[in-house]
């Protein structure tokens, strides 16, 4: 069974990327993936600081996130773009999870993972400047990031007001089908 960990990198209550992750999770489940959707607001972390880490070790929430990453085979991430790059919340989460802990390499939660990355933005670029940065960060940690990505421009008018469904879901469906299929194929191997 393919276990996929999903989250949005915006914790704002009405965030476009929250809407997108919900739609994507539904589509992934429909495609046969077993998804755990978490809310990063439930895992508050201080800004990473080496002195803090040395004094207190890994914060409890970083340990919980590490455990979650390790229990899953794949990641499904939806993130806003802030100033052409990755939001601090997402980068901070990735960095804490990548720290060595109790003698285990910080790469362990990432290695042999598959990832699908998405971005929603109200503008016409749809996060296209952030996605290459996120891809590079995940690649450097050993994550196999699928070549497809879902970039949703004009996101404030992209969802049906009543149902919350995407008006044009084809590219999203194609991405999550690829996520489930690739993760399954590599897990069997």
Q: Is residue 187 within 8 Å of residue 73, measured between CB atoms? A: yes
Shortest separation between residue 147's beta carbon and a copy of itself, angstroms: 4
Q: If binding means CB under 8 A, how many residues of this protein chain bind a copy of itself? A: 51
Of 111-140, binders to a copy of itself (CB under 8 A) are 124-125, 128-129, 132-133, 135-140
The torsion angles phi and psi of 19, rounded to 5 degrees, stand at -60, -45
* Closer of 68 and 125 to a copy of itself (Cβ): 125
- DSSP for the chain? --EEEEEES---TT-HHHHHHHHHHHHHHHTT-EEEE--GGGS--PPP-HHHHHHH-S-HHHHHHHHHHHH-SEEEEE---BTTB--HHHHHHHHHHTS-BTTB-TTTTTTT-EEEEEEE-SSSSTTTTHHHHHHHHHHHTT-EE-S--EEESSGGGSB-TTT--BSS-HHHHHHHHHHHHHHHHHHH-
- Smallest distance from the beta carbon of 130 to a copy of itself, in angstroms? 10
Q: Which of 1, 161, 170, 189 binds a copy of itself (CB under 8 A)?
A: 189
Cα–Cα distance list, 163 to 36, 158, 159 (Å):
22, 12, 8
Which residue, 22 or 133, is less far from a copy of itself as judged by CB?
A: 133
Instruction: Spell out, one character per residue from 17 to 46, where the chain touches a copy of itself: x when CB under 8 A holds, - when not.
Output: ------------------------------
Q: Is 188 in the site for a copy of itself (CB under 8 A)?
A: yes
Nearest approach, Cβ of residue 30 and a copy of itself (Å): 19
Point out which residues pair with 117 in neighbouring strands: 77
Position 7 contacts a copy of itself (CB under 8 A) = no
CB nearer to a copy of itself: give 5 or 81: 81
Q: Does 105 bind a copy of itself (CB under 8 A)?
A: no
Task: Say whether residue 61 binds a copy of itself (CB under 8 A).
Answer: no
Which residues of the chain form contacts with a copy of itself (CB under 8 A)? 10-13, 15, 47-51, 82-89, 91-92, 94-95, 98, 124-125, 128-129, 132-133, 135-148, 153, 181-182, 184-186, 188-189
């Amino acid at each position: 069974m393919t276990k996929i960990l999903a989250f949005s990198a915006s914790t704002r209550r009405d965030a476009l990327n929250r809407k997108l992750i919900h739609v994507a999770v539904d589509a992934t489940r429909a495609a046969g993936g077993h998804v755990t959707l978490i809310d990063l607001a439930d895992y508050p972390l201080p800004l990473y600081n080496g002195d803090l880490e040395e004094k207190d070790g890994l914060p409890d929430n970083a340990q919980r996130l590490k455990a979650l990453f390790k229990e899953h085979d794949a990641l499904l991430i939806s993130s806003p773009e802030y100033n052409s790059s990755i939001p601090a919340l997402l980068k901070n989460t990735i960095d804490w999870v990548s720290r060595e802990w109790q003698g285990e390499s910080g790469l362990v939660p990432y290695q042999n993972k598959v990832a699908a990355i998405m971005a929603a933005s109200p503008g016409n670029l749809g996060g296209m400047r952030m996605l290459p940065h996120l891809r590079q960060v995940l690649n450097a940690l050993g994550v196999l990031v699928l070549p497809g990505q879902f970039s949703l421009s004009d996101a404030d008018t992209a969802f049906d007001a009543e149902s919350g469904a995407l008006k044009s879901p084809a590219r999203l469906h194609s991405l999550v089908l690829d996520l489930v299929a690739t993760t399954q194929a590599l897990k069997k191997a």
